[in-house]
Structure formats: C-alpha cells, structure tokens
Amino acid sequence: MNNLFFELTIILILAGLVSFLASLLKQPSVIGYILTGLIAGPLGYYRLQQGDVFSTMAEIGITLLLFMVGMQLDVSQLKRLGKTSLLVGMGQILFTTIIGFGILRLLGLGTVASLYIAPALTFSSTIIVVKLLGEKKDMQSLYGKLVVGIFLTQDFVAILILIALSSLGSAGSGFYASLPLWQSLMMALVRGLILVLCVWWLSAKVFPKVLQHIGNNDELMLVFSLAWALGLASLVSLPVMGFSLEVGGFLAGLSLARGGVHYEISGKIKPIRDFFIIIFFIVLGSGLVLDNLWAISRPAIILSLFVLIGNPLIVMVLLGALGYKPRTGFLAGVTVAQISEFSLILVASGLQLGHLRQAEVAMVTMVGIITIAVSSYLIMYASQIFDRIKFILRIFDFRKGSAEKHSHTASLKNHIVLIGVNRLGHHLVDVLHKQKKAFVIVDFNPEVVERYVQKGFLAVCGDGTDEVVQEQANLSGAKLVISTVPDFNDNLALLHAVRRATAHKRFRPKLIFIAQDEAETKMLYDAGVDYVISPHFMGGLHLAKILEGRELSAGLKKIREHHLNILADNGR
C-alpha cells in the first residue's frame, strides 16, 4: 500500500475519533485536530513519515482559507454596521496588544517575540464564534451584529499584518537581499501596489465575463476557482515577487468578491478548504516541541487568563463608554475570549521567518487550546452567567445605556409593541401612525432605530427577548405585540419572553407573529400565538383580489406605482 495513502488514512481516522470525543464535550473540532497532531508528533504515539507532503497540504489549506476570507471580506459592511464596531474592534486590538506586550515582557520573552505574540492575542476565531452564535440563534441580535463588525475589523487588521510580514520576509532574501532594508520595503510596497492594481483590473474587466460564461457549469466553476486561488498564490510567492502564499490567496479571493457569484464559489470551495485546514492543524500540533512542558505551561496559563478575562473586559469597557448596556457588553465580550486561526498563522509565519522559536509557537498553540475550549462554554451559557453576575457588571453602565435607549417609553400603557421594522414592519408603522395608535418600535439595528427616532417615533434599539429592552418598551403593559422577525426560533424565544414578562398580569397582550411556511404557521398557532402572518397565504389573497378587479391592466399599473413609491421611501 502507498505510504502516503496509508498515513493519510491513519491520521484522518485518528482525527475523526479525537474530534468526536471533543464534540461530546461540546468543543470545536479544531481542538480535536490539534490534539491529533500532538498524538502524531511530540507525544510520539505515531510518527508522520510524509511530513513534507503534509506541510504542503497545510499550505494549500491556509491559502484556501485566506481565499475565502478575501471573497467574504466586504469592507463596506463596516459602514453599514456603524462606527461602533469599528471603534470597538480597533480599540480592542490596540489595548490587547499594548497590555499583552507588557505581560509578555514581564514573562521574560524578547521584544521581537512579544511583537508577534501580542497581536496574536487580539484575534478571535470568526469561524468558531459565528457557528456558536448560529446555534444560539443570536446572529440577528444587537450584540450579534456588533460582534460581526468587530470580527470583520479584526480580520482586516490580521490581513494587513500578514501582508506586512510577507514584505518584511522578502526584504532580506532573494533578489532584494543586497538592498538596504528601507529600499527593500519600498520595493515591496511598489510591487504590492502593482499587484493590487492588476488584480483590481481583472476583477472589474475580465472575471465578470468569465464567470458569466462558466456560471452554469459547476465543475468548471470549481476548477477555475481553485486554479485562480492556487495559481495567484504560487505567482506572488516567486522570489521576484517576494510575497507569501497567504497574501496571494487573499488577493485572489478579494478579486472575486464583487459579484454575487462568490457565494456559489464559497459553497464549492468550503469542503475542500475544510479538508486541508484539518491537515494544517494536525501538522501544527505535530510540530510542537513539548520537551519542557512546565516552562511552556506557566506563561501559557497566564496568557490564557488574560485572553479569557482581559479581552472581554476591554470590550465591555469600550461598549460601556459608547453607551451600551452591561448585558450587550458582556455577551459581546465573551465572544472575543479566545485566539483564532489567524493567531496561529501569524506565529507560524514568525517561525518560518526565523523570528520565533518552536517553544514560543507551542506556547501560543496551548493558549489557543485553552481559550477555545473555555470560551466555547462561556459563549453557550453567556446569558445564564450574566444573570448571576449582573449586579457586579452594573459598573460598566457608564452612560445609562444611552446607545440602546433613544426615548423614555415606560409611561406607555395599552399600546402596541412592533418588533422588527425593516421590511414588513415599515408598512405597519405608516398605518399605525395614520390611525394615531400608541406604539413603540423595537429593532436590533441601531441605524434603523435612529432613522425612526429622527422622524419622531418612539423606538428602542435591542433584542426583544432582552429584559432591559422589554422594560423600555413596557412590554408588560402592551395590548398587542407584533413581530415581523422572520426567524422561527427567534419568535419562539420572543413568545416565551412575553409570557415571562406578563406572568403576573391578569390580561396578556395579543400576539401577531410572522411565519415563513405552513409548518411554522401551525407550530406558532399551537404555541399560543393569536394570529400568524404567512407571506405566501397573504400574497395569494392579495393576488386573488387583483385578479377579481374589472380593469386588470389599470389596476396593476396603479399597484405597481404604489409599490415603487414605497421602495423609494425605504431607500431614503
């Protein structure tokens, strides 16, 4: 049997078993992969004989990871998410780096090693956190939206650091070894600018036509994407270019991010990326040096405590200073209580450049294992933890939640609470306003809330299941609660929250929720919702009324103009 085939089979079986055990403990698979590498490396239970081949496969994994990051990195999202995410993201990176650098120097690490490891402590795992938030159905909550923006900022900074390291690595090697450092760096900057301009031209002029031509051929789309990602990575890693494979992969992805087809490409590349990323973490674990485990463990535990406690505190202070309530700050803070795959890539790059030792990489990897394991539980049980310590966390309510409270609404009684106003809710606002009904708007998007506040409406920013938001909207005193939130699980959580808030009341508010299909409609009715809005059912009735009209052509024209006017109003 081929040695590579046999060895790959062995480590995949081992990785599957270890990852299965990790899943039983509700841990991310990445921990299982790193532990697999430890078993196949420093612990000596199985020695990799095809190390060079696996290292090459690991490089393919990192290249494809950065390729997908580039495709999904939409810098314009930062504007849509607001300045809060950008300020908190940059602030967390800055303060964590400065404090982390000081801790590392106190632990006896050198200046160069500290300059690598301190930024590595700032980056959180987007893959792990988004997966956990998705399982909790919290991606659309206020803190979930903030976290997405914070992580987007982290990813952008991480990419810039990797590009800078790539330029630094090329400055003292290859064609540029004889040049002074400043000239080498300037040459790297010029090369990088030319490369970005070329990639931008391809993404604007060439790729849209190519993708349009091959869009209906799944196999051709897959081959094209892989060829472009690995081909550009190989090109920029040539000595004459002097950049790393990661930079090439990222730029290849960025060039495909402009069209909607990148979602389709991501779906095809993801399974392949995941396979090679598994190999990367196994190779990382197998290359660790654990000869002096105690010497590594002591600083790793100290740094882990800093990441687990310090990073959330920094985020809570920043969000509190910007006017967010302790609950939002705490829930967002625990999501940054681990280091990410970018952190491991960063220290691996330092090792490759000769700036870090194996022991220092092992220490950071140990920090990764500890923080990912602990933070997974923190994220899953964050609400319960907050309920137990919220009396302590009140000290972070520096501005009395001003960012989440645009107006005082507690005086409202027998009013309507409208949850979610971005789409269907927009029409309800107009109707309720014309009828001069007393109502309050609840939405998780600060920009949407701000827009309605400026129009003179009562509005609260936050999650409808949050007790603080319920108090601001005086949910217990409402006569009607309307939810246009499309997520079924969010609506179930809201239903239970309404029941808790009105448990002591003799009369509970009527409930009108939205559902996406007949199955959801029936389940919401069974759960006790008074009326369920089913878009397909309502749309069918509306179309039937149109068809009943005597002058179909004139009626359609009138409805079309009315629809376009509404769309124009929503766009403003």
Which domains, ranges and CATH numbers included, belong to the chain?
3-395 (1.20.1530.20), 416-533 (3.40.50.720)
For residue 89, the tally of other CB atoms under 10 A from its CB is 27
For residue 531, the tally of other CB atoms under 10 A from its CB is 11
Which has more confidence, 375 or 497? 375
Distance of CA 107 to the CA centre of its chain: 32
The b/e string for 539-568 (b: 16+ C-beta within 10 A; e otherwise) is eeeeeeeeeeeeeeeeeeeeeeeeeeeeee
Q: Answer yes or no: are the C-beta atoms of 366 and 296 closer than 8 Å.
A: yes
Residue 145 token pair: 């939206």
CA distance 330 to 335: 9
pLDDT tens-digit readout, 2-36: 678 888 888 888 889 988 998 888 888 888 888 88
The whole model's pTM is what? Answer: 0.69
| Neighbouring C-alpha atoms within 13 Å toward the C-beta of 53 | 8
Confidence at residue 410, expressed as pLDDT on a 0 to 100 scale = 47
> Does residue 407 have a pLDDT over 50?
no
CA 377, 381, 385: angle at the middle one, nearest 5? Answer: 115
For residue 77, what pLDDT band results from cuts at 50, 70 and 90?
low
Residue 121 token pair: 């402590």
| Neighbouring C-alpha atoms within 13 Å toward the C-beta of 381 | 9
| H or E segment and range at residue 439 | strand 439-443
| Residues 319/324/328/332 CA torsion (nearest 10 deg) | -20
pLDDT tens-digit readout, 139-178: 667 787 788 788 888 888 888 887 777 666 554 455 555 5
For residue 92, what pLDDT band results from cuts at 50, 70 and 90?
very high
Q: Answer yes or no: are the C-beta atoms of 521 and 532 closer than 8 Å.
A: yes
Distance of CA 261 to the CA centre of its chain: 20
**Which percentage of the chain shows pLDDT scores above 90?**
14
For residue 103, the tally of other CB atoms under 10 A from its CB is 19
Average pLDDT over residues 262-279: 83
What is the side-by-side order of every strand in the sheet holding 510-514? Answer: 459-461, 439-443, 416-419, 480-483, 510-514, 531-533
For every residue of 161-213, DSSP letters joined together read: HHHHHHHHHHHTSGGGTTS-HHHHHHHHHHHHHHHHHHHHHIIIIIHHHHHHH
pLDDT tens-digit readout, 162-218: 777 766 655 445 555 555 555 666 776 777 788 878 888 888 788 878 877 776 777
**Which percentage of the chain shows pLDDT scores above 70?**
79
Between 93-97, 178-182, 479-483, the lowest mean confidence (pLDDT) is in 178-182
Phi/psi for 417 (5° steps) reads -105, 115
Residue 461 token pair: 């920013």
